[in-house]
Amino acid sequence: MAIRRRAKEAGIFDPSELALLGRIFEQLKLEGYSVGQNEALASRIIANYMAGVVDEAELASLSKQPLGR
């Protein structure tokens, strides 16, 4: 799964953090997404989380948008 691979690359997350990141990823990924699109989505979720966004609804909302916008 893209989110777990990206999480391992980004640093150490505990099981509850991985569960949160995985839930957000499953909510946001769409049928037909390419591997690259899934990787970009996983990167956005992790970047937003690492920037301090820990509320699940807010993290999902922000991660729908490209980074830096």
The pLDDT value recorded for residue 3 is 74
Mean pLDDT, the chain cut into blocks of 10 residues (69 residues total): 72 86 93 88 92 96 79
Q: Within a 10 A sphere around the Cβ of 64, how many other Cβ atoms? A: 12
The pLDDT value recorded for residue 54 is 94
Report which of 31, 48, 36 is spatially closest to residue 20, judged by C-alpha positions.
Answer: 48
Measured CA to CA, the distance from residue 69 to residue 12 in angstroms comes to: 26
Is the Cβ–Cβ distance between 6 and 43 less than 8 Å?
A: yes
Q: Is the pTM of this model over 0.75?
A: yes
Measured CA to CA, the distance from residue 45 to residue 60 in angstroms comes to: 8
